[in-house]
Amino acid sequence: MKILIAPDSYKDALPARDAAEAMAQGILKALPDAETHCCPMGDGGEGTLDALLVATGAERHLTWVQDALGRPREAAWGYQAERRTAFIELAEASGLQHLEPQERTALHSTTFGVGELILASLDAGAERLLLTIGGSATNDAGAGMLAALGARPLDAQGQPLPPGGAALAELATLDLSSLDPRLAGLVVETAVDVDNPLLGPRGASAVFGPQKGASDADVQTLDAALGHFADLTAHQLGDDHRQLPGAGAAGGMGFAARAFLGAELRPGITLVMEQVGFDALLDSADLVITGEGQLDGQSLAGKTPVGIARAARAKGVPVVALVGRLGDGWQAAHEEGISAAFALADGPMSLDEALERTPALLADRAGSLVRLLAAWPTPPANGSLGGNK
């Protein structure tokens, strides 16, 4: 049996590479003759950079930048010199995972560090950029990134605005005259893992603000401030991107990437699958095992397990998802090509215990899965869980 192991990261527990290795260990312990291929994946959120570095062989770089609260942080990024292509993960600089719960402040967090990473890539000679923007702690519509790149957001008195999305309510002028001129020659693709617009009930502030520390009142403040920013941007640039699917990703970074960097917004899992040559890997697979922290109805918007299942379904390869939690509406994933999905917990346990035991739980579940398949009178081969291929 040839098994393609392609998980995303398990939030707060395990990066995708380690998750894939845990699954492989469990499979080979249960079925030593199995052929496994580990292919860590990502959909644009935290951990996607690691998947891209593994897939492309890009060199890993470290650069000191500001985190979402303006503190110094050493952030990783990748560069493939022969293709003059940089890989930048927003979450490395401005990620929610770097903040303690009590530190989360959607009103004042900034994407300045992302701009610093882009500057580092330009200094290295980058002409192409793949920017992944999931997992942010920010809600500033990319204003911090623009400031790092040379733009000057100013209030009515001509003073620079303080960091954060709430300050955009006071924006009077966005001076782009000092924007780094090298950006004009940079081709940008932005990987998004959601399709939300910038504003409104499905917008950045309403949907994602609360997990970044925003109260109900903060959400209203931020939505109005980002709306003001969008109005000024549309007037200044002549194009209005607030309704673009994905504009609300990463607290409005999708909006800024499109409006100011000319980026093409694409589903992150699609971009990653292209980079790793996923279609070719499927051609020799009998089964795909994927997973991430949670599978639910929102996963259909572009999360890794569903993106993988859609690609595998087209080739008749069955997909099983091993996830930390099955949330509301997860059953809809069956219609997208996931043959079966299993939660990891083997009994009542605290969140801390679940996080600590994730590697062992992944190995156990993967091992149990292949034991079940091997127990069939005719074990599935060539993707034939039910004879689809």
pLDDT of residue 13: 82
**CB–CB of 56/275 below 8 Å?**
yes
Residue 188 CA to residue 167 CA, distance in Å, equals: 27
315 pLDDT exceeds 80? yes
- Rounded to an integer, the average pLDDT of 77-84 is 96
pLDDT digits (tens, 9 = 90+) for 236-262: 999 999 999 999 999 999 999 999 999
Give the Å distances, CA to CA, from 190 to 260, 265, 304.
Answer: 12, 5, 16
The CATH class that applies to domain 48-268 reads alpha beta
**CB–CB of 132/250 below 8 Å?**
no
| Helix, strand, or coil (residue 205) | helix
Closest C-alpha to 122, from 148, 153, 92: 148
**Picking from 129-133, 337-341, 350-354, which range would have the lowest pLDDT averaged per residue?**
350-354
- Rounded to an integer, the average pLDDT of 31-49 is 89
pLDDT band at 380 (very low <50, low <70, confident <90, very high): low
Higher pLDDT, residue 389 or 357: 357
pLDDT digits (tens, 9 = 90+) for 200-230: 999 999 999 999 999 999 999 999 999 999 9
Residue 309 CA to residue 328 CA, distance in Å, equals: 19
Q: Give one DSSP letter per residue of 167-198, joined into a string.
A: GGGG--EEE-TTS-GGGGG-EEEEEES----S
Q: Give residue limits of the domains in the chain.
A: 2-40+286-374, 48-268
pLDDT digits (tens, 9 = 90+) for 95-112: 998 999 999 999 999 999
Give me the residues paired with residue 191 across strands: 132, 266
Which residues, at least 6 apart from 212, have a Cβ–Cβ distance to it below 8 Å?
96, 104, 105, 106, 109, 136, 137, 138, 139, 251
Which residues, at least 6 apart from 217, have a Cβ–Cβ distance to it below 8 Å?
none
pLDDT digits (tens, 9 = 90+) for 304-313: 899 999 999 9
What CATH number has the domain spanning 2-40+286-374? Answer: 3.40.50.10350
% of the chain beyond a pLDDT of 70? 96
381 pLDDT exceeds 90? no
Residue 14 CA to residue 20 CA, distance in Å, equals: 10
- Rounded to an integer, the average pLDDT of 261-271 is 92
pLDDT band at 383 (very low <50, low <70, confident <90, very high): very low
pLDDT of residue 379: 53
Give me the residues paired with residue 73 across strands: 65
pLDDT of residue 312: 94
389 pLDDT exceeds 60? no
Which residues, at least 6 apart from 265, have a Cβ–Cβ distance to it below 8 Å?
190, 192, 244, 245, 246, 247, 249, 254, 257, 258
Indicate left, alpha or beta for 125 from its phi (over 0: left) and psi (-120 to 50: alpha): left
**CB–CB of 112/163 below 8 Å?**
yes
pLDDT digits (tens, 9 = 90+) for 149-163: 999 999 999 999 999
Which residues, at least 6 apart from 186, have a Cβ–Cβ distance to it below 8 Å?
122, 126, 127, 128, 129, 261
pLDDT band at 378 (very low <50, low <70, confident <90, very high): low
**CB–CB of 154/160 below 8 Å?**
yes
% of the chain beyond a pLDDT of 90? 76
- Rounded to an integer, the average pLDDT of 112-141 is 97
Mean pLDDT, rounded, of the chain: 92
Pairing between β-strand 128-132 and β-strand 152-154 as defined by DSSP bridges? unpaired
